[in-house]
Amino acid sequence: MKHLFILILLGLCINLGCSSNNEIVDFVPEPEESTLYFPPIGSSEWETISTSDLSWDAAAESELYDFLDEKGTDGFIILKDGKIVVEWYFGDFTASDNHSWNSAGKTLTAMTVGIAQTEGFLSIEDSSQDYLGEGWSMLSPEQEANIKIRHHLTMTTGLDYTVDDPFCYDQECLLYKNEPGTYWYYHNAAYTILDQVVTNATGTDFKQYSYQNIRDKIGMQGNWIKVGYNNLFFSNTRSMARFGLLCLNQGTWDTVEVLSDKSYFTEMTNTSQNLNPSYGYLWWLNGKSGFKVPGSEANFQGELIPNAPSELIAGLGAFDQKLYLVPSEKLVVVRLGDDAGESQLASSSFDNLLWEKLNNYMN
């Protein structure tokens, strides 16, 4: 009876919006205690669970494998309740090989900023000028002061994304185009500046701060590596799965609070502004009424990945690096590899095709 009452309340809450204002509000299930398995730190041990135990369709498994192989996949993992269901490597790629996350690594940055805020080093409502100093761009001091850390997290800084090199964050590349918070555009330079914000706020190099507060606490390996103007995270496939498991449990690794501010986690993984409802704080969100994509000013109607669960949240990187989370099903799906065909910076048709195969496999 208790469970039925809770379900009724949740249904009313979802239908009514549960909001006292007009902001977009999403329901995020609280993590349930003792239902997730966490692999030990400093060990290759990781419990598995079989397809038959889950009543998944074993006949569809080979179809999924062949599809991933055909699409240039290197590493692929599915976790259910934290346990490995499938772990596949293709060609010469092995479990110990590292691969770039590309922009899926933005999710690591988002959590790092949240940790810095939790520790009192910054607030995302602060002007980024407070940590970068006046003159970090070609904007006037007044224009700079209006750009908050929140705007960098949500791709709404108003910096000019039509410059010759949108990855360049040198002063001369950072020009005024729109008032912050009034336009959404996937601008990598505006994102990468967050590294320096964290460094200056904490007094610790961004890379080291991220390693100490995320990577080392959950047993990941991997490193941030500078590639041109980009700061890219490289790791093996299991390390991405570990981070996915951390996020599945809303920033808690077993009993260790990596990100203790759960309100920040909720904000990070829900609609962060009204300009692109499918974007949180550097996370992509499914199940919304519309979306914008990197490299385009257009607004598209419908869900980002129609075949995927509506509650799915994702880290999406160039050339089809994928980190998918489905909270209610306690699923983490990781795909690292070559471009699957469209050379997109985030979502592509590969997402929808892959979820068609996954749906068949998981019934």
Residue 314: in which H helix or E strand, if any?
A: strand 313-317
Q: For residue 86, what are its two tokens?
A: 């499938």
Q: How far is CA 255 from CA 107, 115, 141, 262, 268, in A?
A: 21, 17, 45, 14, 21
Predicted local confidence at residue 10, as pLDDT: 38
- Percentages helix, strand, coil for the chain (3-state, rounded to 5) are 35, 15, 45
Closest CA to 32 of 248, 189, 183: 248
Closest CA to 243 of 354, 362, 64, 112: 112
Q: Give the Cα separation of 185 and 15 in Å (integer).
A: 31
Question: 71 with 117: CB under 8 angstroms?
Answer: no
The domains of the chain, with CATH numbers, are 35-121+203-362 (3.40.710.10), 129-194 (no CATH)
CA dihedral (267, 222, 200, 252) positive or negative: positive
Q: Give the Cα separation of 237 and 88 in Å (integer).
A: 10
Which phi and psi (to 5°) does residue 78 adopt?
A: -120, 125
Question: 355 with 310: CB under 8 angstroms?
Answer: no
Maximum Cα interatomic distance, the chain, rounded to a whole number of Å:
64
Burial class (CB in 10 A: 0-12, 13-18, 19+), 8: exposed
Q: Give the Cα separation of 111 and 105 in Å (integer).
A: 10
Kindly give the residue spans of alpha helices, DSSP state H, lying in the chain.
2-16, 51-54, 59-70, 106-118, 129-132, 141-145, 149-154, 188-192, 194-202, 206-210, 216-218, 237-248, 262-268, 349-362
Q: In tens digits, what is the pLDDT along the chain, a chain of 363 residues?
A: 434 333 333 343 334 344 333 344 444 445 445 489 999 999 999 999 999 999 999 999 999 999 999 999 999 999 999 999 999 999 999 999 999 999 999 999 999 999 999 999 999 999 999 999 999 999 999 999 999 999 999 999 999 999 999 999 999 999 999 999 999 999 999 999 999 999 999 999 999 999 999 999 999 999 999 999 999 999 999 999 999 999 999 999 999 999 999 999 999 999 999 999 999 999 999 999 999 999 889 999 999 999 999 999 999 999 999 999 999 999 999 999 998 876 666 778 899 999 999 999 998
Could you give the 3-state DSSP secondary structure of residue 56? Answer: coil
Distance of alpha carbon 28 from its chain centroid, rounded?
15
Q: Give the Cα separation of 256 and 306 in Å (integer).
A: 35
Its pTM stands at 0.89
Question: 284 with 315: CB under 8 angstroms?
Answer: yes
> What is the number of other CB atoms lying within 10 angstroms of the CB of residue 44?
9
Which phi and psi (to 5°) does residue 4 adopt?
A: -60, -40
β-pairing, 300-301 vs 290-291, is antiparallel
Q: Give the Cα separation of 154 and 158 in Å (integer).
A: 11
Predicted local confidence at residue 341, as pLDDT: 77
